[in-house]
Each structure stands twice: as structure tokens, then as C-alpha cells.
Amino acid sequence: MESLPVSVRGRGRLFTIGALIATLMLLGSACSNSSNTPSSPIYNVFAQKFRFHGMPGTIPSGNLQINFSNKESFPITHEMILKAMPEGKTAQDIIDSAKVPGCEGGAECEAQYLAFGEIAGVDTGATLSNVFDLSPGKYFFACWETGTVSGGTNGPPHLAKGMFFQFTVS
Ligand SMILES: [Cu+2]
């Protein structure tokens, strides 16, 4: 009679320890899952005043993650289209290519350049992420969205206003 509470307590403790071990095993497997993934650099890029901010001018090759935020003070959609910088072209050449009337609206203009992925359709206040795998070379981000500060939708592509950022993958 007197030993009953002891054994109940004992079982209770065993159960508690068992639950603790199960929890630790779960935590352990969660940890080992994340440590199995090679850690790739993360860049927090944001759009503000029709410019890209926060991306280094030179980054190492390989996998990378970009979190792209739209930090405008008015409602507008931006995008971060990642393209190869064509040999022999300057930043001004790329910006000017979006001023050609036939290119307004983006699609054809955009297709001129070799694509390496994108983060598109990012409204003011939002952040979207994507992963990229880049080999050494010269690249740029551009935005071909055509929204305006006053809420219109048929403005010039933002690239024509200078929404462009060039960087090197070494
Ligand atoms: Cu834009």
C-alpha cells in the first residue's frame, strides 16, 4: 500500500523523461535537417524611390537567397528581374533600352536579356524571397513594371527611370 504512490511517481517521472527525450530527438532532427543544408548567403534587397538598395556590388558564386522588399511610401508594384549583363553594354544602354516605345510594357524589352530568375509582383510593404545559383559573371536587376506614383498603370517601365542595379559574381 505504501509503495504504490512511489511507483506511480516513478512511472510519472519515467513518462516525463520519455517525453523529454522524444522532444529532444525531435529538436535534434530539426537541427540536423537545417545543418545539412549548406548555408548560402542571404541578401536583403529593397526597392525605394525606384532604386534597388542593399545588394553588394560583388558577391561570391553559388547559391544565394534574396529577400526582396518593396519599401515605397505609396502603393506600387515592383519586381526584381535578374539578367545577365551583355558583353560590351553599359548601365545606360540597359536603361535606354526600356525607353524605346516598342518596349513599353516590358515583355519584349525584358526578353532581350538572358534570364537568371526573378522576384516579381512585390507590392508596397511586401517581401518575397527566392534562391538563385549564379556562376561568375556580370549581372543586373531591373524592374519593368509600369505603375506610377499617382496610381496609374501605363507609365514607362521603371527601368527607364533608372531602376537598375549591376553587380559582379566572382
Ligand atoms: Cu518597379
Q: What is the CA radius of gyration of the chain?
A: 25
CA of 97 to the centre of ligand 1 (A): 15
Q: Where are the domains of the chain?
A: 42-169
Band (pLDDT 50/70/90 cuts) for residue 38 is low
pLDDT (0 to 100) of residue 92: 95
CA of 142 to the centre of ligand 1 (A): 8
Cell 512511472 found at: 11
CA of 133 to the centre of ligand 1 (A): 23
CA of 110 to the centre of ligand 1 (A): 13
CATH superfamily entry for domain 42-169: Cupredoxins -  blue copper proteins (2.60.40.420)
Question: CA of 60: how far to CAs of 18, 43, 83, in Å?
Answer: 46, 12, 17
Span 94-145, pLDDT tens digits: 999 998 876 655 556 888 999 999 999 999 999 999 999 999 999 999 999 9
Query: Dihedral through CA 134, CA 135, CA 140, CA 141, nearest 10?
Result: 0
Question: CA of 7: how far to CAs of 2, 15, 18, 19, 114, in Å?
Answer: 10, 12, 16, 18, 72
SS (H, E, C) the chain: CCHHHHHHHHHHHHHHHHHHHHHHHHHHHHHHHHHHCCCCCEEEEEEECCEEECCCCEECCEEEEEEEEECCCCCCEEEEEEEECCCCCCHHHHHHHCCCHHHCCCHHHHHCCCEEEEEEEEECCCEEEEEEEECCEEEEEECCCCCCCCCCCCCCCHHHHCCEEEEEEC
**Does residue 52 surpass a pLDDT of 50?**
yes
CA of 36 to the centre of ligand 1 (A): 36
Span 63-102, pLDDT tens digits: 999 999 999 999 999 999 999 999 999 999 999 999 887 6
CA of 136 to the centre of ligand 1 (A): 26
CA of 90 to the centre of ligand 1 (A): 20
CA of 72 to the centre of ligand 1 (A): 10
